[in-house]
Structure 1
């Protein structure tokens, strides 16, 4: 029974990510989420209580991987290795969780009205930690004197664009969906630009 519940919960969460990404929070309907998931509509409320609760779960499903991507950051780490690992993890998130990434981006662009305060603080604390590490590496002469805030913003923009602007990428490349090789090329390109820009 637990396995069935976990499966249904995952189906609903995945379908909700797609619906919220396509239509936004206000326009998405529980009936459409249920239909996309292939479950009865009451199941949506059984597992998530409300549309708001389901939306927050979608946000939570992307915030945790984003926080985990920052795990390599520590002041004693090697800047080249840390940035390489971070960029790879961020591109992987865009590849594996594109719909949740879009929902997160939309939420942020609207001032994060539904993002729970604990997740906001966790994200901000992690960003401060990462930026602090970058600043220490700059101060110790381990990398070029780039602004750590804008370096982080640039990495976020470069890596998340593969999820948030997939229509534009598909239009320019002529591919309906990027391949594993495309994501690897993106990872290598972004990594090369960042490392060279940081004097690494």
Structure 2
């Protein structure tokens, strides 16, 4: 619904009253969309795309199926939005690596920390993305190619520049990034296995702090970067 649509439904009101009403409705809409996405990402992560229905998501939010479809016209549209939100965060992190004004140690440390924090704070989103990829990226493959590949190439160019300048050891940049993704995302995607092995209900902040130090130290050592 656009602002014009809302205004048309507000006959006989002064401009200031209309503006206040519009703002309230838009805020309520944003809040409800956030609630829908919160339940959708959890259910897609737990049950997969095929195992999740719009009716179940609507029930969790306290809406009818028809009311939910007013906000998201189909299950695929909702699934697409969930994956878009996940990828948006990841792409921001990837883009930060291409900042050649900063030193490799600082950039890599911040990148690893950000990836681990995403796994800690938004595990459902990470799992939905992982399940989509494991399943062959049938719904989201084109988006991955279009959005991830250009940034990956930019990051690879930065790594190659660092290698040429002697700032890091000569490594394969593509596989370095694959390794960082695997190490950081496993703390969301395979948290259940980790909890089972360590006999606990969930990973603690200390677990993530320990993982951060280990992964950062391993990457810097592998690139022959001495921590400042």
Give the TM-score of the pair, scaled to structure 1: 0.93
Cross-structure match for 1:111: 136
Cross-structure match for 1:139: 164
SS of residue matched to 1:93:
helix
Structure 2 regions of 5+ residues with no counterpart? 1-24
Residue 108 of structure 2 is aligned to residue 83 of structure 1: yes
Q: Give CA deviations for 1:67-116 in whole Å, capped at 9, x if unaligned.
A: 11123323343110110011011111111221111111111122322117
SS of residue matched to 1:111:
coil
Structure of higher RCO (CA pairs closer than 8 Å, 6+ residues apart): 1
* Aligned-residue offset at 1:118: 4.6
Residue 197 of structure 2 is aligned to residue 172 of structure 1: yes
Contact residue 138 and residue 145 of structure 1 kept, 8 A: yes
Q: Give aligned pairs, total.
A: 200
Contact residue 56 and residue 115 of structure 1 kept, 8 A: yes
Residue 125 of structure 2 is aligned to residue 125 of structure 1: no
Bigger Cα displacement from structure 2, 149-158 vs 23-32: 23-32
* Aligned-residue offset at 1:36: 2.3
Cross-structure match for 1:72: 96
Cross-structure match for 1:28: 52
Q: Give CA deviations for 1:2-56 in whole Å, capped at 9, x if unaligned.
A: 2221111111111111111111111111121122223332232111110000000
How far apart, CA to CA, are the structure 2 residues paired with 1:72 and 1:29? 36
How far apart, CA to CA, are the structure 2 residues paired with 1:7 and 1:177? 28
SS of residue matched to 1:45:
helix
Select 1:61's aligned residue among 62, 82, 85: 85
Cross-structure match for 2:215: 190
Residue 28 of structure 2 is aligned to residue 4 of structure 1: yes
* Aligned-residue offset at 1:134: 1.0
Bigger Cα displacement from structure 2, 125-134 vs 55-64: 125-134
Give the TM-score of the pair, scaled to structure 2: 0.83
Select 2:69's aligned residue among 15, 26, 45: 45
Structure 1 regions of 5+ residues with no counterpart? none
How far apart, CA to CA, are the structure 2 residues paired with 1:158 and 1:122? 22
Contact residue 91 and residue 148 of structure 2 kept, 8 A: yes
Greater Cα radius of gyration, structure 1 or 2: 2
How far apart, CA to CA, are the structure 2 residues paired with 1:28 and 1:156? 27
SS of residue matched to 2:202:
coil
RMSD over aligned Cα atoms: 1.5
